[in-house]
């Protein structure tokens, strides 16, 4: 505004800002999941044309990579001595809980190894024959539920605990193989 038109108490703010460039327009829409899948599909087609193996993901496998918090989570149903057991690999919280449980057994071979297997199974088993190992009737902390699962699993025989333990540990290896095939992990 020219100085002559300013009121006595108004500050001089200078000339008005330039008008936006008329050639610049916002995008019409944000790409949705289906568009991302189309991009992945076209990349997969290019890789296939080059002769490389293409890894197709199931809906469940896509879920694993959905958020950073779920990357690495893996579960499956195994058969142990004719019984269906649903297992899941361990999260960091489980590892810490196992470490605290095993503290009292440190240096007491073979109890230290068995305690680790038992605690791993208590954290990794979700259900046996479609029934949870322990079902709290009221509000309980994760530590209290863990303690109840351990109490129940202590009565199982080593042959069963060992087999389930090995399967729980193998889940991480299966996920790592998939992540390497997809190029998400180096070497």
Q: What is the largest CA-CA distance in the chain?
A: 96
Q: What is the pTM of this model?
A: 0.64
Instruction: State both tokens at 127.
Output: 């259900």
SS3 81: coil
Peptide bond into 74 cis (omega under 30): no
The 10s digit of each residue's pLDDT in 15-57 is 766 665 656 555 565 555 554 454 455 555 554 555 556 567 6
Is the pLDDT score of 187 beyond 90?
no
Give the number of residues written for the chain: 187
Cite the residue boundaries of each domain of the chain with CATH code 3.30.2220.20: 72-181
> Which CATH superfamily groups domain 72-181?
Phage tail assembly chaperone gp13-like (3.30.2220.20)
Is the pLDDT score of 183 beyond 80?
no
The 10s digit of each residue's pLDDT in 11-25 is 666 676 666 565 655
SS3 94: helix
Pairing of strands 75-80, 125-128: unpaired
Is the pLDDT score of 100 beyond 70?
yes
- Decide: 48 and 42 in contact? Cβ < 8 Å: no
């Amino acid at each position: 505004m020219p100085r002559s038109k300013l009121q006595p108490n108004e500050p001089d703010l200078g000339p008005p800002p330039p008008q936006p460039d008329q050639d610049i327009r916002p995008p019409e829409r944000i790409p949705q999941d289906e568009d991302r899948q189309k991009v992945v599909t076209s990349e997969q087609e290019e890789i296939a044309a080059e002769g490389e193996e293409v890894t197709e993901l199931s809906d469940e496998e896509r879920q694993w990579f959905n958020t950073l918090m779920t990357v690495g989570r893996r579960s499956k149903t195994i058969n142990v001595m004719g019984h269906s057991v649903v297992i899941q690999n361990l999260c960091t919280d489980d590892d810490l809980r196992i470490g605290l449980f095993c503290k009292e057994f440190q240096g007491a071979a073979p109890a230290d190894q068995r305690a680790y297997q038992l605690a791993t199974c208590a954290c990794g088993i979700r259900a046996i024959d479609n029934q949870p190992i322990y079902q709290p009737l009221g509000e309980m902390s994760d530590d209290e539920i863990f303690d109840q699962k351990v109490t129940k699993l202590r009565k199982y025989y080593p042959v069963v605990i060992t087999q389930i333990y090995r399967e729980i540990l193998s889940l991480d290896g299966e996920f790592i193989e998939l992540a390497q095939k997809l190029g998400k992990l180096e070497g």
